Structure 1
Amino acid sequence: MEQDMILYETPLLDELEEIIYVSDIRDYSLLYLNRAGRSLTGLKQEDVRNSKCHRVLQGRDTPCPFCTNAKLSKDGFYVWEYENPHLNKNFIVKDKLVEWEGRPARMEIAVDVGDRVKERGSHTSKYHMETVMLETLRVLNTADCLDDAINRTLEMIADFYGGERAYIIEIDRVQGFARNTYEWCRAGIPSQKAALQQVPLDGIPYLFETFNKKQHLIISRTGELRDSYPSEYRYLTARNTDSLFAVPFEDESAFSGYIGIDNPNINQDTIKLLDSIAYNIANEIKKRRLYERLEYEAAHDSLSGLLNRESFVHFRNDLMRSGKAVSCGIVAGDINDLKQLNRDYGQSRGDMTIKKAASVMASSFAGASIFRLSGDEFIIVSLESAYEEFMERVGKMEWMLDSRTPNGVSLGCTWEEHLADFDRLMRHAEELMLVNKQIYYKDSSQERKHYSPEYLNRLLQDMEEGCYRLCLQPKYNPLTGKVCSAEALVRYRAAGTESTQPLNFVPLLEKTKLIRYLDFYMLEQVFKLLSDWKERGRELIPVSVNFSRITLLERDLFRVLTDMQKRYHIPARLVMIEITESIGDIERKVIESIGSKLREAGFRISLDDFGANYANMSILSIMQFDEVKLDKSLMDDLVENQTNQTVVKCIIDMCHSLQVECVAEGVENQEQLELLTSFGCTAIQGYYYSRPLEIAEFERI
């Protein structure tokens, strides 16, 4: 994931010994000059932003005629050599366009190559020490890839000393280990890098103490260590090291690693070259660590260690541009009551909860991309994972989050076998997360006490007072003229008011993710009605109940359905779950899972509003329906429109072939009824037979 380099003034840049400055590309004003640059130029820190780069660094009153601004880009460094007469220094210069404090700027890193040669001391013409020194400097400061540059430098060092293996060992004082980070081996010499990844520092006391004193290490014969330093003897002989040159390098004046040459074949007097090169390599490694740290901080959330919102935007854009049709699972998470934790117990408690949640997510979805989008919001994107594995991970993670955080985390998850629309998949996951968040609010007494959502409280109160009323619209068999089943419809009527149609309240409930409560409330009213009919000895007929797409996606759906069915002792086959054509917008695997679980529980399934917009025919191949309901829009001009008649007849014939009952909805006159009967339609619903009825009215027909 590539991003523009976005930098801010930071003490980290002052740690480097190279001259680093940043200037405005428009007016040449200095925006930053690090400590090394201020020391060389004599410029005070408070005067940096009042100065021009060409005045401070070149002694010029006007912009430099050789200015490289026009040659710079954000993609890589422009590298050149320059002898600065004003500062009396020779530099290798690396320039790049960056974003500094929100504006485009030029960053320059200048490496002094003149003093390094002078500091090296005596020359060894036989082995061209000066040539090797300058060449390693050039490679380290001009290569696009630091790893390649260091490997090439190690090769040159090994060639110069005639060694079999050149390598870099870095020290982790916190963990107490030494680690081989770079290595070059001559042909026929086996690599030791993999075996030297966690060498305990207390296992090499002689080496560690020598380097800690900033001394070189020259071992002419490893055998001499056998008695006095047995651990080092074993350490070296295990990799066939008979002799060794090694010099330490520092970070912030502390020993942080060393460069070693195994089995060199020239005089130890030349170790000064290795000392000089070690300094330059260490400085490049230090710069790399700094850049890595800056890039890490730009891409990660500092508290949780997860990727941040900016990284999510880049990830999403890269994924959509790639066009990869891979399987994709998304989990949206929101920590419950985080604000309450911060208020009641202090921000440290909230921060600890965030860290615990992030740790659980990282361990549950190793290898996935995990983002903290805001204070309590998280997104997990798992690519190329099987549906069963993905759902199993989600389930285990939810259990761990519930057990390791004070109030748990509300989750919503979706999965698609062939990713087509990332934003749609993400939206579905967030919708489900919000549904589960509402469930948490309802079940949490503390949340109701302090933050009870207005709409939820009002909805629950209206349900308790019976404002949402169950009506039934009968479905008739056109051949017998008798009621064969019914659809449960909801009407709202507060005390002393007129009945209100669903169009006036359902959209708000869907928008606020509260529709699940109404769906389950109406389902229970149907079970109660059927139970009442059963007790009174009335004939039981199938009744269909409308479920929103959000309710169908709820993970507790099947538990609620089966618990309710068992509580009222009504056969599940008498309750038909009506879903709309919009379910086709849900991921295929999820649709299959919903359909199979409904059938396993014994419930029948009806596809409502078929043909309302553009019929999603594929839905019929994904989910097995017991009933397909033709939308009223197909009935409106059925009598006059021959093409419409052909379409309707084809749908009815298709239903017969699939052994699915076809219900015509919105039938209002005799002509429509006769046509539909001639086409073989076996169930009719509409005002021709009956409007939606109160229960007492329905029982009289």
Structure 2
Amino acid sequence: MNERAPWEMFENFNEIVYASDMETYDIIYMNKAARDSFQITEEEYKKQKCYSLISRFSLPCYFCTNPKLKVGEFYEWVYHNPYLKRSFKLKDTMYCYEGRKIRIEIAIDLTLNEQENRSVNEMIRDEVFINSCLTMTHSASTPNESMNFMLQYMGQYKGCKSASIYEIRNNNWLYHTYCWDFENGICPVKAPFQIDFLEYIKEWKRKFVHNEPVILKDMEIIKRKMPEFYSYLAPEGVSCMVFIPLLYNGEISGFLRVDDPPDKKAKNIALVGRMMSHFIVSIIQRRNLVENLEYLSFHDQLTGALNRNALNAHLKKEDKRQKGRGVIYCDVIGLKKVNDMLGHASGDKLIVRAYQTLAGLFPGKVYRVGGDEFIILEDGKEEREFNQTVSQLKKKIRAENISLSIGSAWADGGEVGFEQLFKAADECMYEDKFSYYSQEEPMTGVPRETKRRSYGARSIAEKPQTSFGTFIEKCYFDAESFFQSVALPDAPFYLYCGDLEKNLYYISDNLKDDFNFDDNLVYDFVTHLEIRI
């Protein structure tokens, strides 16, 4: 004779009872009261998921209590079932049966209990509020509008003084990102709170990680225990603060702060805020995704500079300029040679270094418009001020030994369009590049243009063969081993050899290690060595 399942004793129980598999959500039992309430037969409910039949959801309930259940203990909560249009006090527990974890839920009808019914009615109103809030929130055009609307809707509906969102970013700094208050509506936010926030709120952390709100009714406590945090929150004239944690992947990502809810409503605010916190985190993640996509659309991935899309967007939305505009056009000299001789990774480093130099003088104004080309827009400057800025740039690249051709052009007000300015700066840049290649190389005395034309023109076969060359060609000779054997690690001298025309050098291991070079093959070695010395 098979042993009866423990839930079968509830078959004639007056209250609704059902059992479901906690892993698959399959309903495995419903007593008579449950079958009658949902108007379903014994054969029909066994084909259903609990969330589908009980709550009419297509996915597991976001408020499912399965993670909170333990064997031998009951978890109690209240739920209004919109399908049955009745409110229940629920008692849930876990039972292990035939190797499966089974959820058993007993539902006690609250409609006949006046005292609890008032609580239920308030919960129903809150549920209507949350549904209305989410409907309006998702109709907003941007995540920021959604968040501002949610705070405003919550503050006005619950009669609070203010509501704010704080987020934890960048090594646990606290950022005040959204704010609404009763008198001013959407308000400006504060600067970041420069402190390890999670370390600072040890007393709250245990509650926060379990998604439990913190209600403060004595401002002197927080003022005494956390004076810096109190000063940042600035709760002047506030008698009660409710803090609801925002959790993302189980980690504390920030909190919702609500000030001065109506008398005896703090717990209700905490409950509603706790339910809303999931949607707040969802909006924040949607905002972060949008911002990341916008960043990728308007920034160069190698350097972080603004790109052509950003330049076009800036030019489209600009108003008529009352003052002048200057355009600086920069081109990295020798990029192809570096790519050919040292590889594209070294070429990328050269591009990044050039950008960092430009960005140091022109933060937020540098656009990468080609492989080795950058444009800088200087709006609202007089001609004299603009020319001084260009002179500063030329001094800086000389000081940092960065090879850039620079061209610039300036025009007053809206007299000349960007395309004309760009063309003038481009022509000026090519004049600067021609001047550079016309100069003699300091070490060789050969004009750079001659060196550039002759680069790679001669083959080794055209050079006269020497005795040493014949020896290397005919006999076994490891030139690198010979070179490094002379330059021993503890030797009091360093060795290097180089091609002055190509400005490419091979350096000994002890020279590479002692002066922190990345490789034995170094382009423009003499300059880099001078910088290190």
Shorter-normalised TM range:
0.5 to 0.7
Counterparts of 2:218 and 2:369 in 1: how far apart (Å)?
Answer: 58
- The aligned residue for residue 274 of structure 2 is 275
Given the superposition, is the C-alpha separation of residues 163 and 395 from structure 1 closer, same or farther in structure 2, using an over 3 Å criterion?
A: same
> How far does the alpha carbon of each residue in 1:630-656 deviate from its partner, in whole angstroms, 9 at most, with x for none?
xxxxxxxxxxxxxxxxxxxxxxxxxxx
SS for the counterpart of 1:194 is coil
Mark the CA change 1:435 to 1:453 in structure 2 (over 3 Å): closer, same or farther: farther
State the match for 2:162 in structure 1: 165
Among residues 428, 436, 439, which one is paired with 1:440 in the alignment? 436
Distance 1:453 1:323, change over 3 A: farther
In structure 2, the partner of 1:362 is 359
Q: Runs ≥4 in structure 1, deviation > 6 angstroms?
A: 117-120, 188-192
Contact 1:164 1:189 (C-alpha < 8 Å) held by counterparts: no
State the partner residue of 1:180.
Answer: 176
Q: Which residue of 1 aligns with 2:406?
A: 411
How many angstroms apart in 2 are the aligned matches of 1:190 and 1:372?
37
The percent of aligned pairs where both chains have the same amino acid is 22
3-state SS in 1 of match to 2:309 = helix
Q: Which residue of 1 aligns with 2:383?
A: 387
Task: Tell me how far 1:243 sits from its aligned partner.
Answer: 2.4
Is residue 2:317 matched to residue 1:330?
A: no
Is the contact made by 1:220 and 1:242 (CA closer than 8 Å) also made in structure 2? yes
What CA distance in whole angstroms lies between the structure 2 residues aligned with 1:189 and 1:224?
29
2:286 counterpart letter in structure 1? K
Match of 2:259 among 249, 255, 262: 262
Could you tell me which amino acid in structure 2 is paired with residue 309 of structure 1?
Answer: R
Is the 8 Å Cα contact of residues 333 and 412 (structure 1) preserved in structure 2? Answer: yes
Matched position secondary structure for 2:305: coil
CA–CA separation in structure 2 for the residues paired with 1:192 and 1:210: 29
Tell whether the 8 Å contact from 1:183 to 1:193 is kept in structure 2 after alignment: yes
Partner Cα separation in structure 2 for residue 144 and residue 189 of structure 1: 19
Going from structure 1 to structure 2, the CA distance change for 1:131 and 1:196 (only over 3 Å counts) comes to farther
Equivalent residue for 1:351, pick from 339, 348, 352: 348
In the alignment, does 2:306 pair up with 1:307?
A: yes
Aligned to 1:256, the other structure's residue is in SS state strand
Which SS does the other structure have where 1:144 is aligned?
A: coil
Query: Separation in 2 of the partners of 1:424 and 1:317?
Result: 16
Distance change in 2, residues 1:401/1:250 (3 Å) = farther
TM-score (norm 2): 0.56
Q: How many residues align?
A: 345
Q: Is the 8 A contact 1:155 1:184 kept in 2?
A: yes
Aligned CA distance change for structure 1 residues 209 and 220 (closer, same or farther; 3 Å): same
Matches within 5 A, 1:568-579: none
**What secondary structure, in the 3-state scheme, does the structure 2 residue paired with 1:183 have?**
strand
Aligned-partner Cα distance in 2 for 1:210–1:400: 54
Distance 1:136 1:366 in 2: 40
Is residue 2:279 matched to residue 1:245?
no
SS of the residue 1:420 aligns to: coil
Taking the TM superposition and a 5 Å limit, the aligned residue runs for 1:528-607 are: none
Q: What is the CA–CA distance in structure 1 between the aligned matches of 2:203 and 2:347, rounded to whole Å?
A: 47
The aligned counterpart of 1:420 is 416
Distance 1:233 1:370 in 2: 40
Aligned residues: CA RMSD: 3.8
**Distance change in 2, residues 1:189/1:243 (3 Å):** farther
Contact 1:179–1:199 (8 Å) recurs in 2: no
- Pick closer, same or farther for the CA change 1:133–1:342 going to 2, 3 Å: same
> Which whole-Å CA distance do the structure 1 matches of 2:293 and 2:267 have between them?
39
CA–CA distance in structure 2, aligned partners of residues 117 and 142 of structure 1: 24
Which amino acid counterpart does residue 414 of structure 1 have in structure 2? A
Pick closer, same or farther for the CA change 1:443–1:215 going to 2, 3 Å: farther
Paired residue secondary structure (1:179): strand
Gaps of 5+ in 1: 1-83, 91-111, 457-701
Distance 2:341 2:260 in 1: 65
Q: Is the Cα contact below 8 Å between 1:334 and 1:433 reproduced in 2? A: yes
Alpha-carbon distance, 1:425 to partner = 1.7
Q: 1:451 to 1:178 in 2, by over 3 A?
A: farther
Residues in 2 aligned to 1:245 and 1:299: alpha-carbon distance in whole angstroms: 39
TM-score (norm 1): 0.44
